């Protein structure tokens, strides 16, 4: 989709349109976490709670999905329910899938990559997710590298996350981002987060705790014409972190199960998350919900700071 024709394919919800008209900042939210990341009904309840949290902090949530032949920027309550109930029957939509799902008028849940694309087309600068995709373990043989990383290198949206999913090779994920010029910021700690775990063991490029400082960094990057995203990692709250030894052992079991069943490609992350949830008897789901809500709070404060910085630039 080229930007001059993007409006033909985008549909803003009434709430998003009203917020934009009023000058309130928008925060993009993905829909894959609803359809493929959590079971029903926890997925729908979490989506509603995250949206309410964003509103309570002064911004408007824009959950993005493909519905009825259009990219929906902001979902109605019945559309959230539809995605949540349909679950993994919904198309998982990344960059390559957008044209097909749109053209066929099918229901699609957008990944990190597709949500970044749609957010950028809608003029939204901040996107909140759970954890970014990355380089999968064993990628030297499988070449399994998430499209999220290439999208971060090309699409100018700030992505707030709890680091990368701990089922990935986080060291190689960070190397890939460095090679492609994607800055990795961290707040609340020096190190990059690892989804269920607060600390991946790898340092982020810069630690910036204050939203105003994060906004200045992002504004400077884009003002220099340095296209592409920025990763802002923030750890799961300490009370909700899973024990490292336990999650490492369970992750190994889940990866072995995926290998034995031949699960590959875009099916592997939903499979691993579901398997880990089953093996932890729901504990990992509680951690997932906690980190998404924390990310939403951090992302909303960043969106407010970016909007303030933009107003200051215009006034100056």
Which sequence spans correspond to the domains of the chain? 3-315
pTM for the complete prediction? 0.93
- Catalytic-labelled residue, pool 92, 151, 165, 221: 165
- Encode pLDDT of 153-194 as tens digits: 999 999 999 999 878 899 999 999 999 999 999 999 999 999
Residue 86: predicted pLDDT: 96
Residue 271: predicted pLDDT: 85
Q: Do 61 and 55 contact (CB within 8 A), yes or no?
A: yes
Residue 264 — left, alpha, or beta (φ > 0 → left; ψ -120 to 50 → alpha)? beta
Is residue 266 scored above 80 in pLDDT? no
**Sequence-ordered alpha helix ranges (H) in 163-243:** 170-179, 211-223
- Encode pLDDT of 105-153 as tens digits: 999 999 999 999 999 999 999 999 999 999 977 766 667 889 999 999 9
Q: Based on the number of CB atoms within 10 Å of its own CB, is 277 exposed (0-12), middle (13-18) or buried (19 or more)?
A: buried
Which residues are within 8 A (CB) of 271 and not within 5 positions of it... i.e. 6 or more apart? 254, 257, 258, 261, 263
Q: Do 247 and 196 contact (CB within 8 A), yes or no?
A: yes
Strand partners, 232: 160, 185
H/E run at residue 21: helix 14-22
Q: Identify whether 30 is a catalytic site residue.
A: yes
Q: Do 186 and 298 contact (CB within 8 A), yes or no?
A: no
- Architecture field, domain 3-315: 3-Layer(aba) Sandwich (3.40)
Please state, in angstroms and rounded to a whole number, the distance separating the CA atoms of residues 38 and 69. Answer: 25
Residue 138: predicted pLDDT: 72
Tokens coding 71: 């990219």
- Catalytic-labelled residue, pool 30, 51, 241, 277: 30
Parallel, antiparallel, or unpaired: how do β-strands 91-93 and 230-233 relate?
A: unpaired
**Sequence-ordered alpha helix ranges (H) in 129-281:** 139-142, 147-154, 170-179, 211-223, 244-261, 268-279
Higher pLDDT, 224 or 281: 224
Longest CA span, the chain: 60
Q: Identify whether 49 is a catalytic site residue.
A: no
Please give the share of the chain, as a percent, with pLDDT higher than 90.
78
């Amino acid at each position: 989709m080229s930007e001059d024709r993007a409006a033909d394919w985008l549909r803003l919800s009434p709430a998003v349109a009203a917020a934009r008209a009023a000058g309130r900042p928008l925060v993009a939210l993905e829909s894959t976490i609803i359809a493929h990341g959590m079971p029903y009904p926890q997925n729908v309840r979490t989506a509603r709670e995250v949206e309410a949290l964003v509103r309570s902090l002064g911004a408007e949530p824009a959950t993005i999905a493909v519905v009825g032949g259009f990219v929906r920027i902001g979902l109605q309550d019945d559309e959230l329910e539809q995605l949540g109930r349909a679950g993994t029957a919904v198309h998982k939509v990344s960059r390559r899938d957008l044209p097909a799902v749109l053209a066929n008028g099918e229901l699609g849940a957008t990944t990190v990559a597709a949500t970044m694309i749609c957010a950028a087309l809608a003029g939204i600068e901040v996107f909140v997710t759970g954890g970014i995709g990355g380089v999968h373990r064993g990628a030297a043989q499988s070449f399994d590298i998430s499209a999220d990383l290439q999208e971060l290198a090309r699409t100018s949206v700030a992505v707030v996350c709890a680091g990368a999913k701990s089922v990935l090779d986080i060291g190689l994920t960070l190397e890939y981002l460095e090679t492609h010029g994607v800055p990795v910021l961290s707040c609340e700690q020096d190190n990059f987060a690892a989804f269920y775990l607060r600390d991946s063991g790898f340092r982020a490029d810069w630690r910036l705790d204050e939203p105003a400082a994060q906004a200045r960094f992002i504004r400077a990057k884009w003002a220099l014409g340095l296209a592409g995203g920025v990763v802002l990692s923030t750890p799961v709250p300490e009370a909700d972190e899973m024990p490292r030894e336990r999650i490492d052992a369970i992750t190994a079991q889940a990866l072995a199960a995926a290998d034995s069943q031949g699960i590959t490609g875009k099916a592997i992350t939903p499979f691993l998350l579901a398997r880990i949830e089953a093996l932890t008897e729901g504990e990992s789901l509680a951690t997932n919900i906690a980190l998404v809500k924390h990310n939403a709070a951090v992302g909303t404060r960043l969106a407010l700071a970016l909007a303030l910085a933009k107003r200051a630039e215009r006034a100056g």
